[in-house]
A and B are shown apart, each in its own frame.
Chain A
């Protein structure tokens, strides 16, 4: 079996390079994960702020009530933080809808690269011709250029719609992440806030003996 696989020096080099690239990608993914964790921790800190006063004042005295109160507060907090991206997306969607209604063009393609889509601003290649099979194996060729960047008058709606949706959507998803972070923190706090701890308890030096 081993004798069937014959690797040349170039193949070995290629495998090592691919392996290094894969390791690098995993390490980058690890650092991205750590960054997301850090951001979520800072987003979750707001949950402590939301629940502190009611527990400190003794208004809420049970785990279940604290959890329900936390959920209600979290909804409000999410609304406060997400209304701007929501409005941005709503505006973009309304604009596209009205454009389709008034132009009576319901087949408007926002990703078109020729005249009415957002891709008119970019280089567009035909990736279907990236590799072709030949009698000797596969041949990789640089894909053909379909469209070069140019401004198109008919694409103005997609120029507004696509960036607005990208910005609004990313912002909204960031707030969803914050909502999840706070929800987890609220759940954890509701489980531990009323639990007695032995961390800082020291027994008296002269214990009272039972009679």
Chain B
């Protein structure tokens, strides 16, 4: 009930002050027409002078520059960047080690080396046999 009375009284107030509200609105409408024409003429002049008609104001540009600079140099961001860099380098090291291990494990058998080894083993045996024979080469 209280809300209803409040709405009713507000309605009464709006109806009573409606002429004043309309007068203010009409005044602002006339003012806005002049503003519109001023901005339109100014934009055309700026456009033909090679500028951006409704671009950012100098204050906006300065504010954007400062905020960008602040965003790149804040302590939280630098700490985060450092942490990211460390993680990345650690990951690279781990990947390198893993790759090396894989390479060692999957390295193909080189027959020539074995041959050399076998030959060397054979030669050792021959040596022993020859030694038994009493002949050394």
Contact = CB atoms under 8 A, between A and B. Distances in A.
Nearest to A177: B25
Interface stretch (B59-67, B107-115, B118-126): B59-67
A86 B36 contact: yes
A69 B61 CA distance: 13
B6 to A, nearest CB: 8
Interface residues of A, number: 36
Contacts of A28: 11
Contact of A53 (B24, B32, B43, B60): B60
Interface in A23-51: 23, 25-34
Contact of A69 (B8, B24, B59, B67): B59
A109 to B, nearest CB: 25
A73 interface: yes
Nearest to B10: A30
Interface string B38-69: 11100100000000001001011011101100
Interface in A77-95: 78-80, 82-83, 86
B82 interface: no
A54 to B, nearest CB: 5
Contacts of A177: 25
A173 B31 CA distance: 12
Contacts of A83: 36, 40
A57 interface: yes
A29 B11 contact: yes
A79 B11 contact: no
B62 A30 contact: no
Identify which of B4, B11, B25 gathers the most chain A CB atoms within 10 Å of its CB.
Answer: B11
B15 A26 contact: yes
A88 to B, nearest CB: 13
B35 interface: yes
Interface residues of B, number: 32
Contacts of B62: 54, 57, 59
A189 interface: no
Interface string A52-64: 0110111110000
Contacts of A96: none
Contacts of B67: 53, 56-57
Contact of B64 (A53, A69, A79, A175): A53
Interface in A170-211: 172-173, 175-177, 179-180
B38 to A, nearest CB: 8
B14 interface: yes
Contact of B29 (A69, A76, A80, A172): A172
B28 interface: yes
8 contacts: A32-B14, A53-B67, A54-B62, A56-B67, A57-B70, A78-B32, A79-B54, A82-B36
Interface of A: 23, 25-34, 53-54, 56-60, 69, 72-73, 75-76, 78-80, 82-83, 86, 172-173, 175-177, 179-180
